[in-house]
């Protein structure tokens, strides 16, 4: 007899558990299927999740304690004009200055495996049934409706609604005829290296900023401008991530480049010629893993692809499977979270209303298309337009694209969607304001002490990059629940080069088992004392920490200040509660004005940049305040 559920969710990556949890909390019998042995195992590598994903995404993530590797205070961009002569420009305009950094963050770096496991744990707590090591081979249909899934052993699991969170390329939806296969031009293949490095060196060398490198194509340092994402370097807790990616087909000739050869060349040049990598990182970094990954990067810029349906009778498609990867930040997690909640809300309404037809479910696609942050994230052109800077060798255009894509100029096109989303969140629940204020210090404190929620799989390697233990995949491998892409011949040629037999997936370096190179978290308070994440190497004493001096010269202890801050937040809670209807009404009235945010940001940008430059010059003088803030958080443990 076939099993039956209200909702079946395919894939336990970033979006699947969010959708499943929301359905279960609504009282629906929900099943979450994952092809890997553990949730998130197919989502290899790591990434930066932007702040807006946490602020405006699922409340259980914003108000919870997920495992993060490092808060990110911004991006330092290196524009390489001539590496041999050392002609390199720096744009660090998108960086939060001290003392706001590192407590206030633009995002959080995380390894995918433990984060997805954490999400799946929260879904199970809400009543979701999770099954791992189950491969979905196709969607089950009754007449014209998707009515469940078929697993690799031929088993049919029926459902009133199916949410497809299989990931990049949506091959189940393609096989069912709901969506079309993406052309290679919009797919990017990523070459990812993971290096182990002592935490104190990561703190001292990279701090809390990601580093991006952009170079003229003839420098042979990074993938061609506009056809890739340059080079991204992410600092994690005790490791560094190095990623370079390139689209699978170039404009000239229409052939896939031999990426295996090109990536080796780029990596060799960047690690031996870029001064800060060669002199500061290379002597201390130990390579422990080499990975391949792929994602659909430019789907949002193709009008025809954007018109493809995200739903059908009984089916909703979310996240990367729906082509919602950010075209500039190379990140799809916020869109996966947003679309997962929208899909779950639509499924709940449809199931309780007794109508899961495409006509009813199309409300989900309309919600996605009208979501300010999703619409903005999949339509940015700065990354794509880098190719035009290269074509004309226009340094001004190159600077502009970098500044507006990954510098403070991003707010000239991001301010309106951010403000619109914030105002709508306040209209729905004014108390979210205090949740936003609490999130940043809590996340930083959790990172400082590694005080994250325990995972259901409590083996030590869960907290480190055991995503590298995922099974190796080769071009041509079929899809599975969770969405391992079926690489086309174009991808095969790009990975291995013509006439070779290369493979994609995960290459764990060395002879040790992955678990043997994983550091078991030790005493977090001792670590915070002995290896602190800011410039001073001073050890925190066990004695009560000194607080700021008042104008009268008296001393207030850190604990007293903390209690004062907590009381202040409690008072703010009460104030926001009392003013809730007024705040909600004001937010609604302001919503039309939010459309002026981008023009205002553009006009104010020159003044803002002058202020930020001056502020950064004063950072050494502000370091004691940063120390005091961090000490308060240490005491609050």
* Helix or strand holding residue 78 (H, E): strand 74-82
What was the pLDDT predicted at 560?
61
- C-alpha–C-alpha distance, residues 149 and 2, integer Å: 11
Backbone angles phi, psi at 464, to 5 degrees: -125, -175
pLDDT exceeds 60 at position 624: yes
pLDDT of residue 44: 62
pTM, 2 dp: 0.85
* Confidence (pLDDT) at 375: 95
Confidence at residue 254, expressed as pLDDT on a 0 to 100 scale = 64
Per-residue pLDDT at 521 exceeds 70: no
Average pLDDT, whole number, for the chain?
Answer: 83
Report the Cα 206 to chain-centroid distance in Å: 19
Q: Is 60 exceeded by the pLDDT of residue 606? A: yes
Contact residues for 446 (Cβ-Cβ < 8 A; gap 6+) = 65, 68, 452
125-149 per-position pLDDT tens digit = 999 999 999 999 999 999 889 999 9
pLDDT over 80 (residue 242): yes
Average pLDDT over residues 172-178: 93
CA 317 to each of CA 181, 450, 622: distance values in angstroms, whole numbers, following the listed order: 14, 34, 48
Residue 17 confidence (pLDDT) above 50 = yes
Q: Span 507-531, mean pLDDT?
A: 36
Would you state the pLDDT for residue 251?
Answer: 61
pLDDT at residue 479 greater than cutoff 80: no
CB burial of residue 473 (10 Å; 0-12, 13-18, 19+): buried
- The answer, yes or no, to whether residue 524 has pLDDT greater than 50, is no
Q: Domains along the chain? A: 3-468 (3.50.50.60)
Check pLDDT > 70 for residue 557.
Answer: no
Residue range 360-412, pLDDT digits in tens: 999 999 999 999 999 999 999 999 999 999 999 999 999 999 999 999 999 99
Residue 484: pLDDT over 70: no
Are 266 and 222 in contact, with CB atoms under 8 Å apart?
Answer: yes
pLDDT band at 490 (very low <50, low <70, confident <90, very high): very low
Do the beta carbons of residue 483 and residue 40 sit within 8 Å? no
Residue bearing the bigger pLDDT, 126 or 252 = 126
pLDDT of residue 637: 57
Looking at the DSSP assignment, which residues form a beta bridge with residue 240?
195, 235
Least confident of 64-68, 274-278, 562-566: 562-566
More confident residue, 622 or 353: 353
Residues linked to residue 235 through DSSP beta bridges, in sequence order:
240
pLDDT, tens only, 200-227:
999 999 999 999 999 999 999 999 999 8
pLDDT at 414 over 80: yes
110: pLDDT strictly greater than 50: yes
Q: For position 634, what pLDDT does the model report?
A: 66
Task: Classify strands 87-91 and 74-82 as parallel, antiparallel or unpaired.
Answer: antiparallel
């Amino acid at each position: 007899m076939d099993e039956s559920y209200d909702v079946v969710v395919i894939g336990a990556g970033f979006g699947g558990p969010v959708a499943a949890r929301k359905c279960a909390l609504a009282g629906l019998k929900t099943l979450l299927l994952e092809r890997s042995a553990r949730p998130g195992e197919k989502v290899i590598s790591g990434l930066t999740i932007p702040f807006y994903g946490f602020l405006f995404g699922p409340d259980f993530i914003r108000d919870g304690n997920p495992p993060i590797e490092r808060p990110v205070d911004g991006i330092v961009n290196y524009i390489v004009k001539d590496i041999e002569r050392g002609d390199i420009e720096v744009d660090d305009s998108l960086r939060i200055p001290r003392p706001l950094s590192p407590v206030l963050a633009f995002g959080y770096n995380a390894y995918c495996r433990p984060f997805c496991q954490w999400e799946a744990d929260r879904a199970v707590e809400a009543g979701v049934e999770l099954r791992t090591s189950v491969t979905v081979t196709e969607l089950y249909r009754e007449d014209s409706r998707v009515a469940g899934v078929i697993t690799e052993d031929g088993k049919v699991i029926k459902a009133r609604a199916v949410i497809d969170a299989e990931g990049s390329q949506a091959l189940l939806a393609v096989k069912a005829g709901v969506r079309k296969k993406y052309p290679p031009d919009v797919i990017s293949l990523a070459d990812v290296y993971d290096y182990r490095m002592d935490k104190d060196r990561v703190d001292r060398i990279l701090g809390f900023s990601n580093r991006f490198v952009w170079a003229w194509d003839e420098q042979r340092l990074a993938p061609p401008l506009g056809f890739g994402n340059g080079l991204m370097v992410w600092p994690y807790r005790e490791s560094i991530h190095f990623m370079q990616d390139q689209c699978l087909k170039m404009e000239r000739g229409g052939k896939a480049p031999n990426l295996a050869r090109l990536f080796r060349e780029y990596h060799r040049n960047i690690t031996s010629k870029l001064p800060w990598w060669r002199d500061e990182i290379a002597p201390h970094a130990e390579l422990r893993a080499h990975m391949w990954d792929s994602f659909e990067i430019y789907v949002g810029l193709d009008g025809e692809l954007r018109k493809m349906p995200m739903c059908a009778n009984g089916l909703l498609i979310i996240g990367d499977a729906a082509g919602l990867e950010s075209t500039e930040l190379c990140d799809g997690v916020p869109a996966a979270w947003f679309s997962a909640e929208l899909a779950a809300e639509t499924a709940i309404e449809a199931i309780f209303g007794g109508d899961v037809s495409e006509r009813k479910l199309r409300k989900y696609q309309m919600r996605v298309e009208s979501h300010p942050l999703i619409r903005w994230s999949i339509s940015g052109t700065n990354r794509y337009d880098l190719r035009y800077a290269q074509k004309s060798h226009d340094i001004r255009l190159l600077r502009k694209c970098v500044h507006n894509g990954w510098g403070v100029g991003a707010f000239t096109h991001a301010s309106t969607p951010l403000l619109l989303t914030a105002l709508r969140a306040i209209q729905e629940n004014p108390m979210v304001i205090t949740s936003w204020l609490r999130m940043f210090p809590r996340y930083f404190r959790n990172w400082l002490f590694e005080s994250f929620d325990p995972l259901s799989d409590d083996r030590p390697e869960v907290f480190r990059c055991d995503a590298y233990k995922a099974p190796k995949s080769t071009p041509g491998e079929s899809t599975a629940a969770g969405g391992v892409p079926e690489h086309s011949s174009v991808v095969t040629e790009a990975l291995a080069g013509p006439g070779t037999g290369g493979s994609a997936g995960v290459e764990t370096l060395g002879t040790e088992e992955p678990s043997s190179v994983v550091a078991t978290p030790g005493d977090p308070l001792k670590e915070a004392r002995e290896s602190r994440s800011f410039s001073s190497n001073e050890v925190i004493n066990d004695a009560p920490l000194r607080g700021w001096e008042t104008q009268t010269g008296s001393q207030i202890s850190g604990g007293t200040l903390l209690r004062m801050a907590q009381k202040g937040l409690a008072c703010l809670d009460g104030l926001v509660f009392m003013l809730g209807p007024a705040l909600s009404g004001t937010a609604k009235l302001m919503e039309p004005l939010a459309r002026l945010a981008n023009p205002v940001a553009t006009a104010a940008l020159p003044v803002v940049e002058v202020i930020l430059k001056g502020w950064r010059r004063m950072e050494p003088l502000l370091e004691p305040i940063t120390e005091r803030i961090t000490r308060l958080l240490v005491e609050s443990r």
